[in-house]
Structure 1
């Protein structure tokens, strides 16, 4: 029965998102590589995931979402079992590409399978509830794996990857019990998907007001994205924390993110989206600018505040963008905005890593804060000039 699909999806989501190597990965890589090399490897994974998103979506539509999900876990398991037993940069490049492929196979397939399973039972109106449950499972899994992964790494540095690989194998076996919905879904071609993504980008930039807002959200989102991928754990390490302490730090941050998500409707009602964007951006920028001047406890507090505020920012960004985009392009427009936030890291990761190697994570964070303030200032100037021109015409 398709009702069992949803229950099984909850289990698979936990097995997927409870990613034990999340915090340990930086500490493992630093055994062999510089920050520039590490940042490059992670950028390769993100580039692979984004480039493969369209063809894997078409693959899932042709062969089935169930097959795509099973294959995702199998590819992920292979990369995880090999990962802790190699030291060669070239092998890690291949493994990061495999991780990107695994992510691409999983992302759209799981969401589509959930929605189609509900739709086949004429219960698609329950999708927001199921989606909220999945979001809660995500945050809980991230908190557990952050804390547990750091501890496992301290016990044996290879153990997080071995345990995660075993969990992915279990997930692949469980995923074979999923039932493929028999709805006549639209078959996606690569050309059609590319056309849809171009249309999604056009929606973000179709007017001067949406262009300004898109640029503002992309700059802030890029700051959060870079912090999550290269800065958070490296800053904790600079403050003197080991993998276990860093795991606890990120776990606490995830817990506060859950609380922030829970009270988001109240915050939005009291403050509104515009103020929430300003507040979250201020928290993020201050966490960058102040980091080099403070000690362990305040520095860790800044990292936790940044993690917690990121969920508020993402919720606010979603509300703002959904107000002006059409329903037929909603998914691709949101995906396009996510891609815009990732592009600075994907293209500039080696430079970011070299800056950390030549200075320190916290000094790089300071420059990040200056850079984000400068870019937001430029966006504000563009908006101000446009407003003045509009008034002169009136």
Structure 2
């Protein structure tokens, strides 16, 4: 058999494993767990922390949804304007003034960014500090400025956290898919994320896999304190995954143990913090990506950081993507052309399994199922974005976002 035939067979074996052995990552049925109102009728106090930098364009579509939350308990929204130049703070105050009877809004600035911090986490730090001083919240809702919530979103998140005794509840907001480029890149982005961090593994108590979606994270305050958040992750570009990892690693506190949760895992190990991650039904991103350059930058700014800035991992990733995603269509074309039945058959089966695993995500995003066979093209784009991320890193322009370029963590002060 030719080398291409062996590669096609390797790809088929990889897809057989991914289909059954990677936490059923391709399924989209992980939604907020069964939930109900607090048994004692006491709703916890919640601080909603919204870091914002030059977000005046999207705030009218997102901030009112937070101010109009139908939450029975006490909640305050803290919008932290991180050095915006487009009138973000003024826009937020005008929106609050027009939202009579909504949640209180506090607008503040964190001051100049200190070395060793990313801008978002610097703003989150200031928001959490204000919330602790003014509110003493039991929970923190960390949500981005471009995320719109249905009126019952906060109530449902709190109910899920209380009923399942969770330290962190995160929903991956449904991103916008209107332009051709959004349809080509966005569903694949969520698909690849779920492949890296299968939600079932994240949600399994005691499992090592930890992840969160930064656009919508409900965090128990005492869990944040035990994990040293956000100081412990202050240099993280991929802050949501880093947050989940330190919360899981920090274990359970007195509040959780008092609720009846075990403080010790099987084998005598300290029980890790309990996480839940799933797809959102009533939480949406309103940020438009009208140009492919914006989507490219969204992915490439953190892709090499995901690989821990390792040239070895970069090479392994490029080869892996090529074998798993690009080889099947090449094998089909070359096998048919050269009359090598095993080659095109193995490539075709691998391509069919690949496309089949993508169908649930397309349904979730209400997209045509005819996009599924184009997953190799989408993977090729992500491969190029990853390589570009590494190139920009070594040019000193890696992890650039909204006018800031962040240093590699070990190089930061």
- Provide the TM-score with structure 1 as the length reference: 0.26
- Provide the TM-score with structure 2 as the length reference: 0.25
Higher helix proportion? 1
Higher strand proportion? 2
